[in-house]
Amino acid sequence: MLSRHIQQAPAGLASKRSFFGFFKAKPDANDKGDLTVPVPTEENRFYPWDLSPCADLRTRAASIRARAKCPVTSKPINYACPYSGIPTHHSREAWEKDTAYHATKKYETLRKVNVFEHDIRSGREFPEFDFPNEQDPDRRVNFINWDMFFYTRGFFSMDTEFQRATSTKMLSYPLTIGSVLNQYTPYALEPKGPVTLEGLKSLAALRYTLYPAKRQSTWKERPMRIFILGARAESQLPGPVWKQLTMLHPGVEFEIHFIGPEAYFDRAKNQYLYLNNSKTVERVDSTLSLQFHTEFFHVLHEATDFFPYDPYLDVFFCFHPGFGSPECKEMWAKSIPALLESKCAVFVSSYNDEDLATDYQHLTSTYEKDMDILFKPTENLYGATKWELNDMNPHETFQFNQQIFGFRGKRYHTVHKGDA
Amino acid sequence: MSSPNGYNYKQNSYYDRKTFRMTPSMLRARRPYFWKNLAGLFIVGSIPVGIYAYTFNFLHQDDFADVPIPPISEEELTRLKKEYEASKN
């Protein structure tokens, strides 16, 4: 009897499918990944990046080793963290010494980066990309969070975090716009939420356009324009993804303008193109057209291509512009005054807290007198749930559109009438 | 396959096809409302339960002492008692 028990015990411990999940220790490097399994889990999507079956992830691991520096020793990275499978430190000693890394459980986030990247390349079925059609007018869309949105909008039931990650990375762009502008926005007025009184004025003007049934007066007909400045990934999203935004506002015509040197990507040539003619138009259907402009915004602004601006019909979105980052500051120096001059609402998203703080600090210190804050810096409820990492520094993890804030050029000035 | 109102029942099944239980996605979506829904259930449920309890309590207060019992003679009573004892044994 006793010997049988002893023989069984190790088999039970080695079992991968742990029934008592909460007893499980930290994930370890012994997990054997298998990308052919149709249902993704953290275990079967885990490979060390150096030994990944995907060539591009092996290349990425090599580029981290080549370019990034160890946070402890400041030497080149030469040791892959066994929990996350991503090269993070110079040596095992440095990895052990990095108490902040272990205390903040950074390896868990890095492991997420690892498994999400493998899951995308696994070639499993992606039923989450079957997007729903027009919304039935009797069904309200609830914007309280991603899950409720997916449920009320009739998306595929996204049961695993992998399905959420792949779909939210795409839908984050249209939904960040949609959730801010919609009348059932999850963002409340101050002090309960981030929207300031000035912000409510701007949003009310935009909602006047978005809800034609509630308009009181006659209306000049022109499509609503959404300008996306410094467009990169978002300009490559296919039309059906942007249709998800317009389906939230039936009966309104939209023009989405992608502006910036990286706004037009040619898949055949696999490079960003500079368009000689002023723009390229891609019409998705009768209510939505995508327009690509490969100039900087201030060039188009000075050429008065978009005049006149109308705060009721135009809104600007900048997805991770890096207003205050040292690399991009110069490029934005001319465009920000042009944005403020338009007097239209501008919403800005950021990769993480630090990115947001840099942008916000830069704007508030440089343009303090010329702008109103519409939307206090806050966490974006419609940010991507997929974790990403910076190849230059694998300890810097971020999510697309994680944070958001809004501003606008001041529309009036108060006048001092003496001290009497 | 899409139904006329645009809701895709085939793909968007938020109930497990075999067990008919809610999927994890739906449970996550409903989580913010769970405690409020439960409180609502108690408030709404307390109305019929309260009515039933009140009725039950009220009817038990009824006093039947004033109900007249038909008169019966002594001989009749002893005869009936005997009959009862006999049937018991």
What ipTM is given for this predicted complex?
A: 0.72
A93 shares its domain with A159? no
Alpha-carbon distance B29 to nearest alpha carbon in chain A (angstroms)? 5
Find out whether A358 and A324 touch, Cβ atoms under 8 Å. yes
Tell me: do A189 and A66 sit in the same domain: no
Q: Specify whether A95 is located in the same domain as A176.
A: no
* Contact B19/A at CB under 8 A: no
A95 and A217 belong to one structural domain: no
Q: What is the pLDDT of residue A225?
A: 94
pLDDT > 90: percent of chain B: 46
Residue A116 in contact with residue A168, Cβ under 8 Å? no
For residue A60, give its domain range. Answer: 26-120
Contact by Cβ (8 Å): A350, A403: yes
Total structural domains within chain B: 1
Alpha helices in A183-284 (DSSP H): 197-210, 239-246
Q: Which of A120, A144, A166 is the last residue of a domain?
A: A120
Residue of A nearest to B28 (CA): A147
| Torsion region of A260: left, alpha or beta (phi above 0 gives left; psi -120 to 50 gives alpha) | left
Q: Are A143 and A66 in contact (CB under 8 A)?
A: no
Q: How far is A128 from chain B (nearest CA, A)?
A: 9
pLDDT greater than 60 at residue B24: yes
**B-chain residues near A158 (CB < 8 A):** 25
CATH of the domain at A264: 3.40.50
B51 touches chain A (CB under 8 A): no
| Contact of A388 with A113, CB cutoff 8 Å | yes
CB contact under 8 A, B2 and A133: yes
Q: For residue A21, tell me if it sits in a domain.
A: no
Q: Flag whether A354 is in a domain.
A: yes
- Provide block-wise average pLDDT over 10 residues at a time, chain A (420 residues): 35 41 45 76 87 89 89 86 89 88 89 92 87 88 92 89 92 95 93 93 92 73 91 89 92 91 82 75 90 90 88 93 88 90 93 91 90 93 92 89 93 71
The number of distinct structural domains making up chain A is 2
Determine, yes or no, domain membership for A286: yes
- Quick check: B24 and A136 CB within 8 A? no
* Interchain proximity B26–A157, CB inside 8 Å: yes
Question: Under a CB-based contact definition with an 8 Å cutoff, are residues A35 and A53 in contact?
Answer: yes
Taking CB atoms and an 8 Å cutoff, what residues of chain A touch B6? 132-136, 154
Residues of A in contact with B32 (CB under 8 A): 144-145, 148
Query: Has residue A214 been placed in a domain?
Result: yes
- Tell me the residue range of the domain where B32 lies: 9-88
Look at residue A269 and tell me if it is in a domain.
Answer: yes
Q: For position A420, what pLDDT does the model report?
A: 54
Residue finishing a domain among A91, A120, A149: A120
Q: How far is B10 from chain A (nearest CA, A)?
A: 9
Residue ending a domain, choose from A88, A120, A152: A120
The DSSP secondary-structure symbol of A2 reads H
Question: What is the predicted pLDDT for the residue at A25?
Answer: 44
Same domain, A48 and A194: no
A253, part of any domain: yes
Amino acid at the residue B75: E
Cross-chain residue pair B32–A148, CB shorter than 8 Å: yes
| pLDDT digits 0-9 by tens, B3-13 | 444 545 554 57
Residue B75 lies in a domain: yes
Same domain as A234, residue A350: yes
pTM, to two decimals: 0.81
Q: Which residues of A touch B34 (CB under 8 A)?
A: none
